[in-house]
Amino acid sequence: MSSRSISETTLSSLLGSNDPAPMTVLNAAGRSNAVIVCDHGGAAIPNSLQGLGLDGAQRARHITWDIGAADVARALSIRLDAPAILAEFSRLVIDLNRPPDDLTSIREISDGVLIKGNRNLSPKETADRIDLIFNAYHDAVSAAIEQAKERVAAPVLISVHSFTPVMKGYERPWHIGVLFGPDCRIARPLIQSLAQNPEICVGENKPYSGYDLYGYTVETHAMPKGYPNVLFEIRQDLIDTRHGAEHWAGLIGQSLSDVLENEELYQPFLPE
C-alpha cells in the first residue's frame, strides 16, 4: 500500500493538494519482523516554499536528499517482505533524522549553500514543518513497529542511507558503511557476511560512527526499547541508477535475510 495524497484535514499554508504526503508507506502488510526506514529518501519541496530559493543543480545534490537510498529501501522491502517508510520531502525542509529542536533540523546553510527559504522562519512556519512532516513521518514509523510487535517482542529497525564518494577532498573507499552502537547483533554478522564478497569494501562505523548519537530515528524508535537495529549507508555513485540500487539491495538483502533468520534476535537488548 502506498500513501501519497494529502487529506483535506492536513492542508495548510505549508502543504497543498498538489504536494505529496510526507511519507510513502510500502508493503504495510509485510510479514517480516523488520521495519525499513529511509529518512532522507525524498527530494520534494512543498510548492509553497518555492524551492527554498535553490536552483536545479543545488536541489539535485546530496544536501537535499540521500541519492539512491529510497530505491534501495524499495527493493529491500520486496526482498524481505518488510514494511518500508520512505520520506518524500527533502531534508532541507526539515531533517527527519534530527531532533526538531536541534540547530541542524532546519538548516540555513548546508555544505556552503545558503538555504534562503529557511531564514527568519516564524514560530508558526517552524511548527507546521514539525507537525505536518516530521511528526507524520515518525507516527508512521511508530505504527509500523507496533504492528510488527504483534509477531515478536522486539522488532528490527533497518535504516537506509547513502553517502558521498568524496567529502572535503577525501575519497571514501567503502562501498557500504554499517553503523551501530552497543547493540551489534545485526551489524556484526552483516559485516562478516558482506566481507566474504571480495568485491565489497565494507566500512565498520564508517563514514560516521554509530556511537555518535547525532541522529534521531534509530535513537528514538529502537534504542530506548532495546530493539535490534542497524543503519547502513551505500556510496551514492553506486546506487544513483535503478539498476545499481537493485544490485546493491540484492547483495545487502541476501546477507540481511540470513541474519534475520536468527530467532534469538527478537528480544530486547540488555546491555551488561
How would residue 3 be classed by pLDDT, with cut points 50, 70 and 90? very low
Q: Residues of the chain with pLDDT > 70: what percent?
A: 94
All 3 cell numbers of residue 14? 505549508
CA distance 266 to 38: 22
The pLDDT assigned to 54 comes to 97
CA 263-25-93 angle, to 5 degrees, is 120
**Residues 75/249, Cβ–Cβ less than 8 Å:** yes
What are the helix (H) ranges across the chain?
Answer: 56-59, 69-80, 123-129, 135-148, 187-195, 217-221, 242-260
Sign of CA dihedral 242, 65, 141, 264: positive
pLDDT in tens, 52-103: 999 999 999 999 999 999 999 999 999 999 999 999 999 999 999 999 999 9
Please say if the pLDDT value at position 8 is more than 80: no
* Identity of the amino acid at 32: S
Listed in order, strand segments (DSSP E) in the chain are: 23-26, 34-38, 84-87, 109-110, 113-114, 156-163, 166-167, 170-171, 176-179, 202-204, 229-235
163 CB-near residues (< 8 Å, 6+ apart): 62, 66, 172, 177, 207, 233, 234, 235, 236
Q: Domains plus CATH for the chain?
A: 8-265 (3.40.630.40)
The pLDDT assigned to 272 comes to 67
Please say if the pLDDT value at position 7 is more than 60: no
Please say if the pLDDT value at position 20 is more than 70: yes
Average pLDDT over residues 176-200: 95
**Residues 23/87, Cβ–Cβ less than 8 Å:** yes
261 CB-near residues (< 8 Å, 6+ apart): none
**Residues 229/183, Cβ–Cβ less than 8 Å:** yes
Q: Indicate the pairing of strand 176-179 with strand 229-235.
A: antiparallel
**Sole residue written with cell 508512521:** 140
Residues in the chain: 272
The pLDDT assigned to 130 comes to 98
Please say if the pLDDT value at position 4 is more than 60: no
pLDDT in tens, 200-231: 999 999 887 777 766 999 999 999 999 999 99
Q: What is the pTM of this model?
A: 0.93
The pLDDT assigned to 270 comes to 82
